[in-house]
C-alpha cells in the first residue's frame, strides 16, 4: 500500500479529505483551529514535493443545501496564513467551475472546495457524487480520522475510483498506528480506564475490552450501576436501572476471563449537583440517602494509581468524576497524573473519546501521554471492535 512517504506527488493533483469542521463565532472567526493545524503537515508535504492540493471537508450540519454560515470560504484567511500560499476557492464542490479550477492547478497550488454537505449525496455515500469529486484529482488522501466511521462519499466511497492511489495522510496514519498499538498488539499488562456518565454508551466497549485487557478500571457516574448490581447503597447517584443486570453479567464475564475488574472503593458525595454543594466521603457502596457520588476519593485514587503505574499499555476514556466542577475534579486529575507517570516510565498511553480529551487539555497534560486521539465517535467505534469504513476503503481491512 502506498503511504505519504512512498508516493511520488510530483506533478500530481491530490484530493485530500480533511476534517475542517471547526467552531466559528458569529463573526465567522475560528475559535479553535486544532483540526486545521493538524492537517497542515500532510498538505505541506504534498506541496513541497511538487504536487498540488484540492481540499475537501464538511463544516457543521447544513440541513437544506448551501448556507452562508456553513461556507468553507470563512476558513480561507486562516489557511492562507498557515500554509503561506494563496488558497483558491471553488464555490461548488463539484461541477464545471470546480473542474476548471482543479485542472488549472500548478505544482504547489491549493484549491479549497465548498462544504461537501451542501449535497445530501455526501452523507448518503452516493457513488456518482463521489465519482465527480474523484474526477478532479489523480490521487486520494484521507486525513479525516474524525469521520472515518462514516461511509460517506468523500470518506469512503471515493477510494474505489483511485485503485492503488488511495492513501492515508499523517493524521490518519498516527491515529491508526496508535490505536493498533493498543487494540492489536498491546504490551502487557494492559489497563483500560473507563469513566464518564453512562454504562449504556460504553457497554460494547467494555465487552470488547474484556477479551484484551489485564485490568479494567471503572470510574465516573457509571460506577454506581455496578455498585447497585452488587447490592450497595448508592443514594441519589447516577444509575441506569435497565443496565443493572448487564453490569452483573459484565462482572461475571470479567471473572471468567481472568480480567482484574476494579471499581472505586470510596467516593466524594454531594448533597446536590453543584460545585458549591456540601460534600462528604464514604465507602463507594454506602452513599447516604439524598447524597450523590460525584468523584472518586483518596482510597480509590491510590488503588487505581498503583494498577496504572504497573501497566505497559494504557487506554483511557471518560472522566472519573464531574471534572467540569473544580470541587469534583481531583479524581480525574490524579488519574491523569498516574497515567503521565506510567508514560514517563515507558508505558504507551492512549487517551481518547470526548471528555477525557477535554479533561487532559484542561489540565495541560496532553504532552504527558503518548497519544491523544482526535476522533471521538470514530475512536469509540474502533475500540468497540468495529471496522471503520474510511479505513477499510483505503487499506482493505
Give the active site residues. 35, 198, 354, 377
The stretch among 32-40, 65-73, 173-181, 197-205 that binds ligand AMP (CB under 6 A) is 197-205
Task: Kindly tell me which of 71 and 349 has the beta carbon lying closer to ligand AMP.
Answer: 349
Which CB, 169 or 352, lies closer to ligand AMP? 352
197 interacts with ligand AMP by CB under 6 A:
yes
* Three cell numbers written together for 79: 489557511
Q: Is 233:211 a contact under the CB 8 Å cutoff? A: no
User: Among residues 51, 62, 169, 319, which is the contact residue for ligand AMP, using CB under 6 A?
Assistant: 319
**Residue 355 sits in the site that holds ligand AMP (CB under 6 A):** yes
Q: Cα–Cα distance between 236 and 382 in angstroms, integer?
A: 33
Asked whether position 201 contacts ligand AMP by CB under 6 A, the answer is: yes
Asked if 293 is part of the footprint of ligand AMP (rule: CB under 6 A), the reply reads yes
Of 24 and 197, nearer to ligand AMP (C-beta) is 197
Q: Determine, following the binding rule CB under 6 A, whether residue 318 of this chain makes contact with ligand AMP.
A: yes
List the grid coordinates of 277.
Answer: 454543594
* Nearest distance in Å: CB 58, ligand AMP: 23
Backbone angles phi, psi at 373, to 5 degrees: -75, 145
**CA-angle at 19, arms to 134 and 149, nearest 5°:** 80
CA-to-CA distance for 90 and 105, rounded, in angstroms?
12
* Contact flag: residue 125 with ligand AMP (CB under 6 A): no
Contact segment (CB under 6 A) with ligand AMP among 12-20, 37-45, 103-111, 193-201 equals: 193-201
Q: How far apart are CA 200 and CA 329, in angstroms?
A: 23
DSSP sequence for 326-378? GGG-HHHHHHHHHHHHHHHTT-EEEE-STHHHHHHHHTT-GGGSSEE-S-HHH
Our CB check for ligand AMP shows the closer of 62 and 267 to be 267
Return d(Cα 308, Cα 340) in angstroms, integer: 10
Shortest-Cβ-distance residue relative to ligand AMP: 196
- Give least dist CB 195 to ligand AMP, A: 6
Find the shortest distance in angstroms from Cβ 7 to ligand AMP: 38
What grid cell was written down for 108?
Answer: 504547489
* CA pair distance 129, 93, nearest whole angstrom: 10
Residue 375 is a binding residue for ligand AMP (CB under 6 A): no
To the nearest whole angstrom, how small is the minimum distance from the Cβ of residue 338 to ligand AMP?
Answer: 17
Task: Check residue 169 for interaction with ligand AMP (CB under 6 A).
Answer: no
Q: Out of 146, 186, 221, 375, which residue is the one contacting ligand AMP (CB under 6 A)?
A: 221
Which residue bears the cell 471528555? 355
What is the rounded distance in angstroms from the CA atom of residue 184 to the CA atom of residue 170?
20
Q: Is 232 in the site for ligand AMP (CB under 6 A)?
A: no
Beta carbons of 152 and 388 less than 8 angstroms apart: no
Q: Write out the residues near ligand AMP by the rule CB under 6 A.
A: 196-198, 201, 220-221, 238, 293-294, 318-319, 321-322, 324, 354-355
Amino acid at each position: 500500500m502506498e503511504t505519504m512517504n512512498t508516493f511520488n506527488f510530483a506533478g500530481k493533483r491530490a484530493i485530500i479529505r480533511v476534517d475542517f469542521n471547526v467552531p466559528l463565532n458569529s463573526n465567522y472567526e475560528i475559535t479553535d483551529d486544532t483540526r486545521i493545524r493538524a492537517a497542515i503537515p500532510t498538505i505541506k508535504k504534498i506541496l513541497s514535493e511538487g504536487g498540488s492540493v484540492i481540499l475537501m471537508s464538511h463544516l457543521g450540519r447544513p440541513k437544506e443545501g448551501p448556507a452562508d454560515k456553513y461556507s468553507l470560504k470563512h476558513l480561507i484567511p486562516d489557511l492562507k496564513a498557515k500554509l503561506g500560499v494563496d488558497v483558491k476557492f471553488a464555490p461548488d464542490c463539484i461541477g464545471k467551475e470546480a473542474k476548471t479550477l482543479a485542472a488549472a492547478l500548478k505544482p504547489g497550488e491549493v484549491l479549497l472546495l465548498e462544504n461537501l454537505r451542501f449535497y445530501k449525496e455526501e452523507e448518503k455515500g452516493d457513488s456518482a457524487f463521489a465519482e465527480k469529486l474523484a474526477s478532479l484529482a489523480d490521487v486520494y488522501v484521507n486525513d479525516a480520522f474524525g469521520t472515518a466511521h462514516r461511509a460517506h462519499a468523500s470518506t469512503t466511497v471515493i477510494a474505489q475510483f483511485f485503485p492503488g492511489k488511495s492513501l492515508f495522510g499523517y493524521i490518519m496514519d498516527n491515529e491508526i498506528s496508535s490505536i493498533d498499538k493498543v487494540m492489536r498488539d498491546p504490551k502487557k499488562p494492559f489497563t483500560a480506564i473507563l469513566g464518564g456518565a453512562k454504562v449504556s454508551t460504553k457497554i460494547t466497549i467494555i465487552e470488547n475490552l474484556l477479551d484484551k485487557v489485564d485490568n479494567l478500571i471503572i470510574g465516573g457516574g457509571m460506577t454506581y450501576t455496578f455498585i447497585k448490581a452488587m447490592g450497595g447503597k448508592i443514594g441519589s447517584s447516577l444509575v441506569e436501572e435497565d443496565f443493572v443486570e448487564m453490569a452483573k453479567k459484565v462482572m461475571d464475564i470479567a471473572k471468567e476471563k481472568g480480567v482484574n475488574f476494579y471499581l472505586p472503593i470510596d467516593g466524594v458525595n454531594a448533597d446536590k449537583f453543584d460545585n458549591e454543594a456540601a460534600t462528604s466521603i464514604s465507602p463507594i457502596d454506602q452513599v447516604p440517602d439524598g447524597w450523590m457520588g460525584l468523584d472518586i476519593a483518596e482510597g480509590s485514587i491510590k488503588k487505581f494509581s498503583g494498577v496504572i503505574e504497573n501497566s505497559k499499555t494504557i487506554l483511557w476514556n471518560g472522566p472519573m468524576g464531574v471534572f467540569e466542577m473544580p470541587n469534583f475534579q481531583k479524581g480525574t486529575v490524579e488519574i491523569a497524573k498516574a497515567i503521565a507517570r506510567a508514560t514517563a516510565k515507558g508505558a504507551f498511553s492512549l487517551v481518547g473519546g470526548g471528555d477525557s480529551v477535554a479533561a487532559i487539555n484542561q489540565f495541560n497534560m496532553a504532552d504527558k501521554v503518548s497519544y491523544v486521539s482526535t476522533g471521538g465517535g470514530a475512536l469509540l467505534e474502533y475500540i468497540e471492535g468495529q471496522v471503520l469504513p474510511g479505513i477499510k476503503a483505503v487499506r482493505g481491512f
